[in-house]
Structure 1
Amino acid sequence: MKIVIAGAGSIGCYCGSLLAAAGHGVTLLGRARVLEPIRTQGLTVTDFSGLHHRAGAGLLNLSEDPACLDGADLIIVTVKSVATAEMAALIAIHAPLGTAVLSLQNGMENARTLRTALPDRDVRAGMVPFNVVPTDVATYHRATSGEIVIEHGPGELARHLTTPEFPVTESDRIEAVQWGKLVINLNNALNALSGLTLQNQLLDRNWRRLMADQMAEALRVLKAAGIEVASTTPLPAWMTPHILRLPTPLFSRIAARMLTIDPSARTSMAYDLLAGRPTEIESLQGEIIKLGHEHAIKTPINSRISQLIQQVPRTPLTVDQITP
């Protein structure tokens, strides 16, 4: 397939490298600051299980020009939520009507935004359960586990994309899957505020209790809204807050797969906050706060965390400083 990765950031570069290794013709559409190092030294991706793959510059097409969207069989959108509408407009201008569009973005609104702007195209939502972080120039590291899930549709798209190193499955309950991911991703902001690695945060019972309280608050809102939540972890969504509150030795045994992460891993929002980049707080806590207002359910924890992230704290915060 001819695939354009629309938004060559951490997730886009990771996915693009492995899709190119599988034989697809991959173009990375992105900014010069990301593409220039790849152009000179290739693209390296690694993961927590020992994967180490380098795609030479000749294996990938690199472009800052959205005209590269012309001729694509598939466009995988990986831009931040704030840039989705702009990317949708570029796809409408440059890409043929027969081109499929797949959103591999956080939040619930991105696929809807793409569908609204591209009403005559095969637009599908997707869910990426793992995080990818830059570790060196033109080097991206997958730090957590999980498999990509995409919306079911014609053409067996998941089968065409799947490789042993890049498994993809399809679901006819993609919104429930996305909501499950969103509930888990509420911890992105907590991790960013904590200054801790994900592993150290999960091994601290005080942080886990705050994670559990935030998750329980979100689940109450989603239940009131009649929204189905499909778990993206080995545990049912409703059980996860209870497991998080357990004493650490018991939690570590029961939730061993939740701890299958690189010891140095932090969330993407933590890196965005450190770099002074816009965060996706409105696509995460913002969704819960909005639904809470609509259904008269108070959301003090999510509201407090959203407020703190938008203040861009200069130093890590403690649990007591965050708890409303």
Structure 2
Amino acid sequence: MIGTNTRIVIAGAGSIGCYAGGCLALAGRSVRFLCRPQIEAMLRTGGLRVTDLDSRDARLDAAELSATTDPAEALAEAGVILVTVKSGATDEMARLIAVHAPADAVVVSLQNGVDNVGRLQSLLGGRQVLAGMVPFNVVQASEPDGLHVHRATEGTVLIEDRVPGLAELLDVEGFAVETHGAMPGVLWGKLLLNLNNALVALSDLPLAAQLADRRWRVILARQIEEALAVLKAASIVPGRIGGLRPALLPTVLRLPDWLFRLVARRMLMVDPQARSSMWEDLERGRPTEIDEFQGKILRLARDTGTRAPLTARLERLVREAEATGTGSPQLSPEAVLDEEAARRI
């Protein structure tokens, strides 16, 4: 039975995980963080500061937090497990859950990409695994007195409607949660927006500045058009994004800057310093999730005999930046495109 006293484990306490867990703990939920040693050290010594676009600024002292690097300790009494690791760590986390978590624990994937629920299910046998989608961006920073996580965009977390009481457990201030009856479409719709992560990473621009520049939006529009053609060939229907039909996104993105600011006000409600998780991965020398975004579209394109040349170029540029290991290459829109395509922007 899911109740407000159910133990929630944040399985992979990075930026999203610490923000979600912080909001839940501030609301009085029983939360345990399974994290890397660096994050555990910051939480144990200085606590956790949680801020957001709505001017919330709250703090949890170290004594109010339960954080560990030991999966057996973290997962032993789990009732709900929120999986927030990057896609590349999904299989490893699934194996830890299979060994250490109670058989009746509910597992919720709050990860990017469209394949993680299936991967978790395949490795967790008969355990209950639900899809979820986090629409907002979280910025992480270390401070002298602990860890600071800041929600830099808006949105409501969506989860599958299969476990009574789960949404009520998770729906707290700063971390709004609702159920949705068609999560596969939601995940594909989110993937279309996540195609922009590569542009932020390659440009080194904050998200707000990048979206305010029509040259970058046109590149995103072209990526989305390629992706929509691939999805149509694969008989996949993406869900609406912020109330907007995916087919309309390229048109909206191509609007002149002044008109885009009027029409897409919600899209531009972004903290001025927010960037993408892919940018953060490049800056920290970590593998990105390019394989779950552009890579997923390219695999479908090969399977369906569909062309996606711009998507392929962006994937290649990100992989080159990963291999270099020096952070964002700080490319211009013209450098991202070939010379002929750049003249058409």
TM band (smaller chain)? over 0.9
Q: Which residue of 2 aligns with 1:197?
A: 206
Q: What are the within-5 Å matches in structure 2 for residues 144-163 of structure 1?
A: 144-163=153-172
Q: Sequence identity, in percent?
A: 47
SS at match of 1:256: coil
Task: Describe how 1:112-261 pairs up with structure 2 within 5 A.
Answer: 112-137=118-143, 138-261=147-270
Are the aligned partners of 2:9 and 2:80 in contact in 1 as well (CA < 8 Å)?
Answer: yes
| Pairing partner for 1:317 from 311, 328, 331 | 331
Match of 1:52 among 47, 57, 64: 57
What TM-score comes out, normalization by structure 1 length? Answer: 0.98
Measured in 1, the distance between the counterparts of 2:50 and 2:44 equals 15
Give the whole-Å Cα distance in 1 for the aligned partners of 2:274 and 2:13.
Answer: 20
Contact preservation (8 Å) 1:129, 1:232: no
Unaligned runs of 5+ in 1: none
The AA in structure 2 aligned to 1:116 is S
* 1:235 positional shift: 2.0
Give the drift of 1:35.
1.1
Q: Which residue of 1 aligns with 2:3?
A: none
Q: Partner residue of 2:341?
A: none
* TM-score for both structures, normalised by structure 2: 0.92
For residue 38 of structure 1, give the secondary structure of its aligned residue in structure 2: helix
Partner of 2:105: 99
Residue of 274, 281, 294 corresponding to 1:285: 294
Q: Which amino acid aligns with 1:27?
A: R
In the alignment, is residue 84 of structure 1 matched against residue 90 of structure 2?
Answer: yes
CA distance, structure 1, for counterparts of residue 54 and residue 172 of structure 2: 16
Query: How far did 1:72 drift?
Result: 0.6
User: What runs of 5+ residues in structure 2 fail to find an aligned partner?
Assistant: 1-5, 339-345
1:283-309 CA-to-partner distances (Å, cap 9, x unmatched) read: 111110000001100111111111110
SS at match of 2:247: coil
Residue 120 of structure 1 deviates from its aligned partner by 1.2
Specify the SS of the correspondent of 1:5: strand
Instruction: Give 1:195 shift.
Output: 1.1
> Which whole-Å CA distance do the structure 2 matches of 1:302 and 1:3 have between them?
38
The alpha carbon displacement at 1:320 in A equals 1.5
Give the 4+ runs in structure 1 shifted more than 3 A: none
- Residue in structure 2 matched with residue 61 of structure 1 by the alignment: 66
Q: Does 1:308 align with 2:301?
A: no
Asked if the contact 1:25–1:60 (Cα under 8 Å) also holds between the matched residues in 2, the reply is: no
Give the CA deviation at 1:136. 3.0
Alignment: residue pair count: 324
